[in-house]
Structure formats: structure tokens, C-alpha cells
Amino acid sequence: MDRAPAVGRLLGTETEYAIRFRPDEGVAHPGNQVLFEAIRAAVERRVLTRPCSNLLEAVLTENGGCLYYEFDASAPDGGLVEGGTPECVAPRQLLVYQKAQDQLLTEATRDAESELRDRGLAGELRLLKNCRDAQGHVYGAQESYEVELASGVSLLAWWVAMGGLAAASVALTAVLWLVQLLVHGLFATALLAGVLAVAAVLLVTRMPTTTLGRYLQRAGRALDVIDRLEARVMGVAFAPVVALASLAVRLFAFRPHHQGATAFLASRCVFTGAGTLMPDDGFGLSEKGPAMRRLWRWTMSPDDRGLYEIGHLFKPLLPSFRARFGGLRLPRMDLDGIRGLFRRRLRLQIGLSDANLCEVAEYLKVATTSLVLDLAEAGQLHGAPELADPVAATQVIGGDPTLRAWVPLEHSGNMTGLEVQRWYQERAREWVEQAEVRDLEAWRVVTLWGEVLDTLEAHPEALFGRVDWITKLHLISSAGDLAWAARKKIDLRYHELGTGYFAWLDEAGACQRLIEPSEVVVACRTPPPGSPAEERGRLVRQLAMHDEPAAPPIAIEREEEAEAGRVIDFAEAARRRRNPPPEE
Amino acid sequence: MDRAKSGGSPSDRRAPLPASRQPRRPRPGVPAIVARIREDAQQDPGAYIEECEVPAGGE
């Protein structure tokens, strides 16, 4: 064996919470950005925070997490609240911080509802921790695991590919700069000439000055059209960069992980799925599963979803238009992000991830995945099932609540989702048992994993309150004679934080808890010990408590933060704390 | 795949679980909550579904 098994790598989750607002009679819906700002302000009253510099409307919290408004340019008032946990060093620790984030947002949403009412925006404000609405739009959860990107020739090839793509991106951005300056220069010239001409006409003809106002409004709309056209041109210009980056990932990056773990990921919805009532009245185990299109995305299109999410690897190669120079938005490259692509350890992000409420499901989701990644890196997944078509397998396994559906393997034979999971659980159990020093949490994970698989085989209904899709299926089946809309409301309202149907069951003691409420309370205000987030949290507290409004906003880099111009390497600080130098 | 190592197919009969690992049954009180959920679900479900829409999706 290469090393002792340990469920201990950096890991974290990002969760997009849907915003639901039902205004009182006579009140107009203010748009989700206003609602987010109220929730953010409520968070800022509960815990210490600092604004982020490179995420719009974002704050860092004193426990090292972050909160921001996630939206698409096509629907700026239809955005989501996105929360990122601090980096954690163990799955149980991550469960605590995920629950802390959920609780903080539950309380802040309640406060925000009162504050909005005082401002004349009375209504019912709620957050939903789910991944799919009734119209089929998909959002929600992603998991991140720090893994070794590559080694040897593959690593060298990756560096060469990233170097070439970075150079191409910088060159394309320079061309975009010039084109934008030219276009905006011509526009400004035309606008000035137009203003002078209209003003002259108004003086001569004595027409009302509202004419000038209408002219300027039209000019503003023309500028919006130019901005949208520039965004389209940028998308087309950089599409080859994104496609080549995706190819580089397929060929050189995360090879032991995706070669060994894909079948595990495609089938883990048997205990991680949140469940969803489909428009055709069928029931699927996973909310996100039906939206998966491929293993890795080829483009930045939101519909191009992959089991593995690699958009975070493309983003540094694409210019950002958030920089403003005197009102002109010029493209800017993220040079720090590009530098980050050359690190040996990067985030492997899982796109096929449902947002969970049951603690057992949420814990097993990240714990089993982290353990399987350990197995992959230790070369312990020889003979792992290879699915003929992982994406199709996701749909087949996810579409069968009886758990009996078979999926074909690459070479020969078939397996059910449970059988695939059983293979990985057995392999993990052997590996943990054979370790010279048994990792306690790893042992707990394989034991709990085995129990859940046993129960799924024998009496799946006994996992009520432990696995989300089983809990939700029971509730929906109990309302089998009701109209589809009522049963869909059960599906959705199950996920309402603090006030939804899962919360009703949890308060009645029907859901198994793995962590103590006191742990969650502490985690709302304290970063995870032993994590790079400790330094981030310390910095947030220091700057917030000393009330330095002139202090620079903190960039959300996970490895480095800037304090008044001084760069702090959080990973190095965490290593120094774990291994302090000997006293002289 | 070696079915012996995998523990067999779902159709294999397993030994009964020990008492400490018997499947958990829903606790008393759950039927009442389920009834309450069923009642609430029938209140304005169409409006609720619309309010939960995320028009552009997310990541």
C-alpha cells in the first residue's frame, strides 16, 4: 500500500439557493438582487464580514466562507444566493460547515423578511436548497476536492498546453482591447456630433428639450446593444480556447481519478440523490442527473453540463469585463488565476451533485467521494467497473426508484447501481482494514456506507429521514391521489430552509442527525481548524473588528489573500501552524 | 466482475441483520406530519411552483 488511507484532503461545497418571494397584496416584487442585498445585510449583522473584491456583491464571513449573488446577464433580477463553505480538511468537518451555512442563511432570511417589511416590501421570503425548479431549470450544488492534477509526462504536457492557451488568450484580449477602443471611440464621436446637432436644432426651432432627453435614451439603448454584441463576439473568439482547454483536461488532467471513479459518481445517486417529480409523473432519484450531457463540458454554455465540472479551469483563460475605466468596460485578464493553473494540486469539481438536507446523505456524499479519490490516487482501483456510457448510466440508474435497472459495462456484462456501489464499498473496506494505522473517520465511512447499501437492498423505506430521495418519495407517494401540481409543491417545498417539509420532519425528530447543534453554532463564527480558511477568517475578523473602511477589499483566492498590499499565503500559514519551527 | 467478491447480486438472499442494525421505522408523529404536508401541498400549488422558478438556471 502506498500510504495509509485517510479521508483527509481539502474539500468544500458551493450551494446555490433559489429565492422565493411572495409579495403581500399591493406590493411589487422588487427583484432578487434587492432580496439578496437584504439577506446579505442580515448576515452582516449576525457575523463579521468583509466585502470581496473580485466577486460582485460578495462578502467573506468570519468562518472563512463566502456569500454572493449569482445571476445570468439575461435575467439579472432572477439570480440565486450562492454560498461557499470554507475549505475543510475532513468530510465530517465539511458537514458541520455546510450546516452552519444553511443555518446562518435561514436566520438571515427571517431577519431580512422583517427588514423588507419595514421598508414597505412586505411578503414571504424563503430560500430553497435544491437543484431543479418545476420548469426544468438546473442550478444548485457542486463539490470540490483538492487532488493531484497530474504527474510525469502528463503534468509537463498540461503545463505546455496551459502556457500556449494563456499566450493565445492574452493576444486575443489585446485585440479585443483595440477593437473596443475603436468601437467606443467611434460611438462617442457620433454621440457628441448628434448631441451638438440636436442642440443646434432645438435652439433654432425652439422645440422642447425633452427631445434631447429622448435622443440620449436612444443612445443609451444603442450602447447596451453594442455591449451585448461585444459579449457575443468574445464568446465566439474564445470558443476555441475553451474547447482546447477541455481537450487538455481530457488528455492530461485528473487521469487516475476519472478513470477509476467515474462509475462510482454515475451510480452514487442511489444514496445521494435528492429526488425529483418529473413532468411526466415519473420519479427520478437525482435532480441534477437528467441535466447531464457529457463527462466534461466543451463550452461555457450553462446547458453543456458534465459529471465533472471544469469551468473553473477555463475562467482564468477568459477575459473579465467587470473592470471599468471611466465607465468603459475593457477586458481584463486574470493573471493570478492563470498562474494557479500551473499548480500541481488543483480543485476537482463534481458537477453531478444534488443539494442534500438529510445529514446521512450529505455526509456520505462527500465522505465516500473523498475516500474513492484516495483509492484512485493510491492505485487501488484496478478492476473498477467501467461503464460503456457513464452519462447514459446516470440517467438509467437515476430513473429507477426500484434500484434494479442494469447498465452495460465497457467490455462485457451489466451491473445495477447498487452493485457498482457495493464494488467500491468492498474495495474501500479492504483498504481501510489493511492499513497499519486505521483512520477512524475512514472506518466510520465504510461502515456507514455498507449499512446504507444493505438497507437499500433489503428495506429502502427504512432510510426515511436519512436519504433525501427516499424521504421525498414517501411524502409524494402519500399524496398519490392529489394533482401533479400539489405533489410538485411537496417536491419543492421539501427544500425550503427552516420552514419546509424536511424542516418539519427534522423538528419532530424523524431525521437522523450526525452532528450536534452546538458544533453548528461554533462553526458559524469560527473557521475550520487546520485549513487555509483559518487565515482568511482571522483576517476578516481583524479587519472587521478594527473597522477599517479604507482597508482594501479581500480577493477570494483560496490560497492567497492581500492585507494592505501584503500577500499572505494561507496554505503556507496553515502548514507552519501544523509544523511549528523548533524553539531556539 | 467477480460476484463472490462483490457480495452477490440483489437477488441473493442475505442473512438477517443483527438487532442493532434492524431497519429504522418512521417514529411516531411522522404520520401526523405527513398528513399536515399533504394538506399544505393543496394550498395554491400553482402559485408556489411559479414563485420557485429560477429563470436562467445556475452553474
DSSP A349-410: EESS-----SHHHHHHHHHHHHHHHHHHHTT--TT---BS-HHHHHHHHHT-TTS--EEEBS
How many helices, marked H, and strands, marked E, lie in chain B? 3, 0
Please state the rounded mean pLDDT for residues A165-179.
89
Containing A80, the helix (H) or strand (E) segment is: strand A75-84
Which range, of A95-104, A162-171, B19-28, averages the lowest pLDDT?
Answer: B19-28
Taking CB atoms and an 8 Å limit, are B6 and A508 in contact across chains? no
Nearest to A485 among B25, B37, B49 (CB): B49
Angstrom distance (rounded) from CA A87 to CA A146: 10
Terminal-residue alpha carbon distance, chain A: 38
Is the pLDDT reported for residue A152 higher than 60?
Answer: yes
| Closest CA relative to residue A561, chosen from A114, A50, A104 | A50
Residue A206 domain-assigned (yes or no): yes
Cell of A462: 427504512
Q: Is residue A436 included in any domain, yes or no?
A: no
Candidates A409, A489, A496, A506, partner chain B, best to mutate (most B CBs within 10 A): A489
The total of structural domains in chain A comes to 1
Contact B57 A139 (CB under 8 A): yes
What is the pLDDT, as a whole number, of residue A314? Answer: 84
**DSSP letter (8 states) at residue A461:** G
- For A256-277, write each residue's pLDDT tens digit: 999 999 999 999 999 999 999 9
Q: Is pLDDT larger for residue A498 or for residue A301?
A: A498
Residue with cell 409543491: A489
Q: How far is A212 from chain B (nearest CA, A)?
A: 36
Q: How far apart are CA A249 and CA A88, in angstroms?
A: 25
Give A202→chain B minimum CA distance, Å: 44
Q: Which residues of B touch A79 (CB under 8 A)?
A: 56
Q: What is the pLDDT of residue B26?
A: 55
Instruction: Nearest by CB to A489, from B1, B45, B57: name it.
Output: B45
Higher pLDDT, A84 or B24: A84
Does the pLDDT value for residue A547 go beyond 90? no
pLDDT value at A408 more than 80:
yes
Q: What is the CA radius of gyration of chain B?
A: 22
Residue A184 is which amino acid? Answer: H
Give me the residue label for grid cell 441483520. Answer: B17
For residue A221, is it within any domain? yes
User: What are the CA-CA distances from residue A429 to residues A376, A432, A447 (Å)?
Assistant: 14, 5, 8
The single-letter code of the amino acid at A124 is: E
Which neighbouring-strand residues pair with A276? A284
* DSSP H or E segment with residue A561: strand A560-563
pLDDT of residue B46: 97
**What is the number of residues in chain A?**
584
Instruction: Give Cα separations from A480 to A19, A284, B25, B44 (angstroms).
Output: 28, 16, 21, 17
pLDDT at B2: 37
What domain range includes position A168? 151-253+320-336
Q: Give me the amino acid identity at A186.
A: L
Let me know if residue A249 belongs to a domain. Answer: yes
Whether residues A510 and B52 touch (CB distance < 8 A) is answered with: no
User: Which grid coordinates belong to A185?
Assistant: 471611440
Residues A206-221 have a mean pLDDT of 72
B25 part of contact set with chain A, CB < 8 Å: yes
Residues 6+ apart with CB under 8 A from A331: A173, A176, A177, A180, A234, A319, A320, A321, A323
Judge whether A248 lies within some domain. Answer: yes
Chain A residue numbers with beta carbons less than 8 Å from the beta carbon of B53 are 78, 133-135, 137
Closest CA of chain B from A270, distance in Å:
14
Q: Chain-wide mean pLDDT for chain A?
A: 88
Residue whose C-alpha cell is 470540490? A144
One-letter amino acid of A562: A
Q: How confident is the model at residue A426 (pLDDT cuts 50, 70, 90)?
A: very high
- A176 assigned to some structural domain: yes
Q: Flag whether A233 is in a domain.
A: yes
Question: In this predicted structure, what is the pLDDT of residue A329?
Answer: 63
Residue B3's identity, in one-letter code, is R
pLDDT class of A557 with cuts at 50, 70, 90: very low
Inside any domain, residue A181? yes
- A214-255 tens-digit pLDDT: 777 777 777 777 777 777 778 888 999 999 999 999 999 999
Contact A514, A360 (CB under 8 A): yes
CA A222 to chain centre: 35
- Distance (Å, rounded) from C-alpha A111 to C-alpha A103? 12
Q: Which three cell numbers stand for residue A325?
A: 475605466
For residues A430 and A441, give the distance between their C-alpha atoms in angstroms, rounded to a whole number. 15
